[in-house]
């Protein structure tokens, strides 16, 4: 049986007073996901192993069943793979955000107001020209998400993810060494942060953005350091056969590269609420024709959570249901070959805290002809009454793929 995972990044949340004490997922009108919950089996999945922070790289690797202590090397290396940057031995890769610092002191946001990819590309090229060297290389990615590679860098660093600290002063959050051997690398990165603020302050891109009332991209913020990981492919681990990944986000595409998946790019896929839902849906259905497993990643709800925008988060969840889940389910019902559907977030991104949390996430698994459990609606609380209490490690992916799992906790 073929399989597809539809992942609504950051879709899970906490009860919101403005929504009558419901979560955005409870409040949203999601008839198709509710139908699949009624026809399928449900539960919760712990996507953040003990000792790890609830980053998207951790959570998505967990959803795919990877053993995090064995393969985790941070976010930067995954984005390097997506961008076609071949890391050499001894090279340190870090995610490099373009952020907005307000008043020279406070992190206003982690995304420079969701700067366009074209504008960001100009700024990254300028930084590479003025602050880069044979040892230091900036690589442009999508919107605010970029890559910094340091030759001979030491990964033993305490780097704060910028989406965790909106409205915080940046100086106390500068890179700190976790070992004496990493002091040189930490110092280098902090000098690059301060140098970027000097270089970007009066760049024409930022002057134009400021004139239009937009947030300037006036600082870099490097974080999630690591070296090239050693990962098995999904086919090697689970016998999935051919597989594909569809995402607007370099991080997820990079996971796909190391996982041996075909990386499918969709025009108009932005990672925001205005992403090309229909294009991604069509690409997923086309990919299922020639692949045995498809991972369809939708970022929009996560970004709404980071903005603390409850109404937008509800809208993104409803868009996922009506513009992705429904057309995929309706199309698959006409196919001769059955296809298993898994739906879940990677982690919660509660609007109240505007960052990721580590609580288990709700999931549903639908397989034609299976015996359903008693759950009739898909949300964070209803699935507590499902067939599975809390799965962990590779239990979700094995259940979806039809592998026997040892225990249902």
* 219 and 250, same domain (yes or no): no
Domain boundary, last residue among 193, 226, 259 = 226
Residue 81 in domain: no
Residue 54 in domain: yes
Q: Which two tokens stand for residue 351?
A: 């609007």
* 214 and 102, same domain (yes or no): yes
The domain in which residue 124 lies consists of 86-226
CA distance readout (Å), 305 to 173, 224, 265: 22, 21, 24
Residue 254 in domain: yes
Residue 244 in domain: yes
* 390 and 248, same domain (yes or no): yes
* 115 and 40, same domain (yes or no): no
**CA angle centred on 357, ends 158 and 257, rounded to 5°:** 70
* 264 and 221, same domain (yes or no): no
Domain tally, the chain: 2
* 304 and 192, same domain (yes or no): no
Exposure of 147 by Cβ count < 10 A (0-12 exposed, 13-18 middle, 19+ buried)? buried
Domain boundary, last residue among 226, 254, 285 = 226
Dihedral sign of CA atoms 299, 301, 302, 303 in order: positive
pTM, entire model: 0.82
* 190 and 91, same domain (yes or no): yes
Residue 104 in domain: yes
CATH number for the domain spanning 53: value is: 3.40.720.10
Residue 197 in domain: yes
How are beta strands 41-45 and 390-391 bridged, if at all? parallel
Q: Which pLDDT score is estimated for 30?
A: 98
With b meaning 16 or more CB within 10 Å and e meaning fewer, what string describes 338-375?
A: ebbbbbbbbbbbbbeebbbbbbbbbbbbbbeeeebbeb
How far, in Å, CA of 156 to CA of 179, rounded? 6
Helix residue spans in 105-249 (DSSP H): 117-131, 183-200, 204-211, 234-238
Per-residue pLDDT tens digits of the chain, which is 409 residues long: 999 999 999 999 999 999 999 999 999 999 999 999 999 999 999 999 999 989 899 999 999 999 999 999 988 899 899 888 989 889 999 999 999 999 999 999 999 999 999 999 999 999 999 999 999 999 999 899 999 999 999 999 999 999 889 999 999 999 999 999 999 999 999 999 999 999 999 999 999 999 999 999 999 999 999 998 889 999 999 999 999 999 998 889 999 999 999 999 999 888 888 899 999 999 999 999 999 999 999 999 999 999 999 999 999 999 999 999 999 999 999 999 999 999 999 999 999 999 999 999 999 999 999 999 999 999 999 999 999 999 999 999 999 999 854 433 3
Residue 408 in domain: no
* 127 and 197, same domain (yes or no): yes
* 345 and 249, same domain (yes or no): yes
* 251 and 217, same domain (yes or no): no
* 256 and 214, same domain (yes or no): no
Q: What average pLDDT is seen over the chain?
A: 95
* 164 and 293, same domain (yes or no): no
């Amino acid at each position: 049986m073929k399989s597809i995972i539809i992942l609504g990044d950051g879709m899970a949340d906490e009860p919101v007073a403005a929504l009558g004490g419901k979560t955005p997922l409870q409040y949203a009108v999601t008839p198709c996901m509710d139908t699949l919950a009624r026809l399928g089996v449900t539960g919760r999945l712990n996507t953040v192993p003990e000792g790890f922070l609830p980053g998207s790289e951790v959570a998505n690797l967990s959803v795919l069943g990877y053993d995090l202590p064995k393969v985790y090397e941070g976010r930067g290396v995954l984005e390097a793979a997506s961008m076609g940057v071949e890391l050499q031995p001894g090279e340190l890769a870090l995610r490099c955000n373009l952020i907005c610092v307000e008043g020279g002191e406070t992190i206003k946001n982690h995304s420079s107001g969701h700067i366009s990819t074209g504008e960001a590309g100009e700024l990254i090229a300028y930084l590479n020209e003025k602050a880069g060297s044979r040892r230091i290389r900036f690589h442009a990615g999508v919107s605010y998400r970029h890559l910094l590679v340091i030759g001979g860098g030491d990964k033993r660093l305490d780097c704060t993810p910028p989406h965790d600290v909106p409205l915080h002063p940046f100086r106390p959050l500068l890179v700190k060494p976790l070992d004496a051997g990493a002091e040189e690398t930490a110092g280098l990165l902090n000098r690059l942060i301060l140098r970027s603020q000097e270089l970007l302050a009066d760049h024409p891109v930022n002057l134009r953005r400021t004139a239009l009332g937009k947030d300037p991209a006036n600082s870099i913020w490097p974080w999630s350091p690591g070296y090239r990981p050693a990962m098995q492919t999904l086919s090697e681990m689970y016998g999935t056969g051919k597989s594909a990944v569809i995402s607007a986000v370099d991080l997820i595409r990079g996971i796909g590269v190391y996982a041996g998946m075909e990386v499918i790019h969709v025009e108009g896929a932005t990672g925001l609420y205005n992403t090309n839902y229909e294009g991604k849906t069509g690409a997923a259905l086309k990919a299922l024709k020639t692949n045995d497993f498809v991972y369809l990643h939708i970022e929009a709800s996560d970004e709404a959570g980071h903005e603390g925008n409850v109404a937008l988060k509800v809208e993104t969840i409803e868009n996922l249901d009506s513009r992705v889940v429904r057309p995929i389910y309706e199309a698959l019902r006409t196919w001769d070959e059955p296809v298993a559907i898994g739906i879940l977030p990677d982690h919660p991104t509660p609007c109240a805290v505007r960052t990721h949390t580590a609580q288990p996430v709700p999931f549903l698994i639908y397989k034609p002809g299976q015996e359903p459990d008693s759950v009739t609606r898909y949300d964070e609380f209803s699935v507590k009454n499902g067939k599975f209490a809390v799965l962990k490690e590779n239990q979700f992916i094995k259940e979806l793929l039809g592998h026997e799992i040892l225990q249902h906790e």
